[in-house]
């Protein structure tokens, strides 16, 4: 059985989103604030729709945490949909409420609408779009925030920034950065309304979004997620489904609207000769007078290291101690004020696609969701390797392994 597992539930305008995360060791300090910070980050970013002003998400911890610490039992979180109160009977579980709002019958291209309605045999597309909506990712971010808290205890940080929105692209390349540089770039990005570390490009992105708003259009883009402090040895080469890059790819591609994922240099690899893109191996003797290196979370400062990071921290499906670099592309928001051509599923007449209130550009938020998904995967691989039912036990196991890494 998987050590860590997690599942979410909830419709976009239903009563609440619910999530259960199981397998976090007992004794981890955690509070709602740790979660709400990321929920707020997910709701921000220039180019968001009206809903973000209605909701200010907060996660209620229903179980698994007592007196500020996890107790080993499943952590249940709930985020109320504040917008739900405007929906009256429209989303109630009660049979009596049937028909209280009219059905959505004109599927929106680019969404699960049509395929979902056919698959689940629904005449009201609302029964599909309520769950396929990116609203669901609020709970993923909440669960991811818990695992970030966990990883932070071992010096592991997960961050992201936007590198492209539409035609505007920064030259920032995270696979060329050291850990400190990554964290600094991240801090810079957090100040930008589009979460782009490049100030000049940020402004151009804003202008491009303004244009899209004006034209009733939408935009996508590209973001990068990085992880610093990762120990060598997470993931495995021994089976197709134990490779860490594969798991990360699933988790990130599985976010609404993602159409591509890269690790390290990614598609840039295709153009290169082998001699240009391998991360050669160096060795710095371990200084025996230094105190325990476990906290460092990598083998970079001593022992084996690499000068470059084309591989993005993963070789053969295993972390190699360098920062993990993941890049993902988000397609433009498919819902548009200037509607697309569609067909009414009842009348079969050609018509404009339905319009649900929507964002114009959500790439900055997508980066935050990417962080959450990557954090969940790293935490899973971490717990698989180190085991442990309490933080003290996991810590002991981790420290003694890091000692082994130092001495190897």
- By CB under 8 A, what part of segment 35-94 binds a copy of itself? 60-69, 71-76, 78, 91-94
Nearest distance in Å: CB 183, a copy of itself: 23
Structure tokens at 79: 């985020």
Q: Where are the alpha helices (DSSP H) in 105-170?
A: 113-120, 126-132, 137-152
> What gap in Å lies between CA 93 and CA 96, rounded to an integer?
9
> What gap in Å lies between CA 237 and CA 216, rounded to an integer?
47
Residues touching a copy of itself: how many (CB under 8 A)?
A: 179
Q: How far is CA 272 from the centre of its chain?
A: 29
Q: Is 262 in the site for a copy of itself (CB under 8 A)?
A: yes
Nearest distance in Å: CB 298, a copy of itself: 12
Nearest distance in Å: CB 203, a copy of itself: 18
Residue 373, SS3? helix
Q: What's the DSSP call for residue 114?
A: H
Q: Contact region for a copy of itself (CB under 8 A) — 177-185, 188-196, 197-205, 307-315?
A: 307-315
**Choice between 199 and 403, CB closer to a copy of itself:** 403
Structure tokens at 383: 């717990």
Contact indicator for 164, 52 with CB cutoff of 8 Å: no
Letters for 181-220 (x = contact with a copy of itself by CB under 8 A, - = none) are: -------------------------------x--x-xxxx
**Choice between 172 and 187, CB closer to a copy of itself:** 172
Nearest distance in Å: CB 321, a copy of itself: 7
**Choice between 184 and 292, CB closer to a copy of itself:** 292
Nearest distance in Å: CB 256, a copy of itself: 7
Contact indicator for 257, 331 with CB cutoff of 8 Å: yes
**Choice between 187 and 281, CB closer to a copy of itself:** 281
Pick one of 116, 190, 193, 213: the residue that binds a copy of itself (CB under 8 A).
116
Letters for 321-350 (x = contact with a copy of itself by CB under 8 A, - = none) are: x-------xxxxxx-x-x-xxxx-x--x-x
Pick one of 49, 55, 242, 355: the residue that binds a copy of itself (CB under 8 A).
242
Contact indicator for 158, 374 with CB cutoff of 8 Å: yes
DSSP annotation string for 157-221 = EEEEEEEEETTEE----GGG--HHHHHHHHHHHHTSTT--S-HHHHHHHHHHHHHHHHHT--B-E
> What gap in Å lies between CA 80 and CA 296, rounded to an integer?
38
**Choice between 239 and 291, CB closer to a copy of itself:** 239
Q: Where are the beta strands (DSSP E) in 23-122?
A: 59-63, 65-66, 69-70, 75-80
Residues 276-305 that bind a copy of itself (CB under 8 A): 276-283, 285, 299, 304
**Choice between 66 and 295, CB closer to a copy of itself:** 66
Letters for 12-31 (x = contact with a copy of itself by CB under 8 A, - = none) are: --xxxxx-x-x--xxx-x-x
Letters for 350-369 (x = contact with a copy of itself by CB under 8 A, - = none) are: x--x----------------
> What gap in Å lies between CA 335 and CA 216, rounded to an integer?
10
> What gap in Å lies between CA 16 and CA 115, rounded to an integer?
25
Nearest distance in Å: CB 216, a copy of itself: 8
């Amino acid at each position: 059985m998987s050590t860590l597992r997690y599942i979410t539930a909830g419709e976009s305008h239903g009563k609440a989103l619910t999530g259960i995360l199981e397998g976090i060791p007992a004794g981890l300090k955690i509070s709602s604030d740790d979660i709400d910070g990321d929920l707020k980050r997910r709701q921000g970013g220039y180019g968001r729709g009206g809903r973000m002003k209605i909701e200010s998400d907060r996660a209620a911890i229903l179980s698994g945490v007592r007196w500020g610490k996890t107790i080993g039992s499943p952590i249940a979180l709930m985020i109320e949909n504040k917008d739900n109160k405007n929906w009256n009977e429209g989303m109630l579980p009660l049979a009596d409420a049937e028909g209280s709002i009219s059905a959505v019958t004109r599927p929106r291209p680019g969404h699960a609408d049509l395929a979902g309605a056919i698959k689940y045999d629904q005449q009201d597309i609302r029964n599909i779009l309520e769950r396929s909506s990116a609203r669901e990712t609020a709970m993923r971010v909440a669960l991811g925030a818990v695992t970030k808290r966990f990883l932070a205890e071992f010096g592991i940080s997960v961050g992201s920034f936007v590198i492209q929105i539409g035609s505007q692209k920064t030259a920032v390349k995270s696979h060329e950065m050291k850990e400190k540089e990554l964290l600094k770039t991240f801090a810079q990005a957090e100040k930008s309304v589009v979460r782009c570390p490049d100030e000049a490009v940020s402004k151009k992105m804003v202008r491009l979004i303004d244009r899209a708003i004006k034209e009733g259009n939408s935009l996508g883009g590209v973001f990068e997620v990085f992880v610093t402090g990762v120990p060598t040895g997470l993931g495995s080469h021994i089976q197709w489904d134990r490779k860490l890059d594969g798991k990360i790819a699933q988790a990130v591609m599985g976010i609404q609207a993602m159409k591509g994922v890269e690790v390290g240099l990614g598609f840039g690899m295709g153009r290169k000769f082998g001699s240009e893109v391998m991360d050669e191996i160096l060795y710095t003797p371990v200084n025996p007078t230094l105190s325990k290196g476990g906290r460092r979370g990598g083998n970079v400062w001593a022992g084996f290291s690499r000068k470059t990071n084309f591989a993005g921290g993963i070789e053969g499906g295993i972390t190699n101690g360098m920062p993990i670099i993941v890049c993902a592309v988000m397609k433009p928001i498919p819902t548009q004020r200037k509607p697309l051509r569609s067909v009414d599923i009842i009348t079969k007449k050609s018509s404009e696609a339905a319009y649900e209130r929507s964002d114009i550009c959500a790439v900055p938020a997508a980066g935050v969701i990417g962080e959450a998904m990557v954090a969940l995967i790293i935490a899973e691989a971490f717990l698989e390797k180190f085991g442990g039912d309490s933080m003290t036990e996991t810590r002991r196991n981790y420290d003694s392994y890091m000692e082994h890494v130092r001495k190897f």
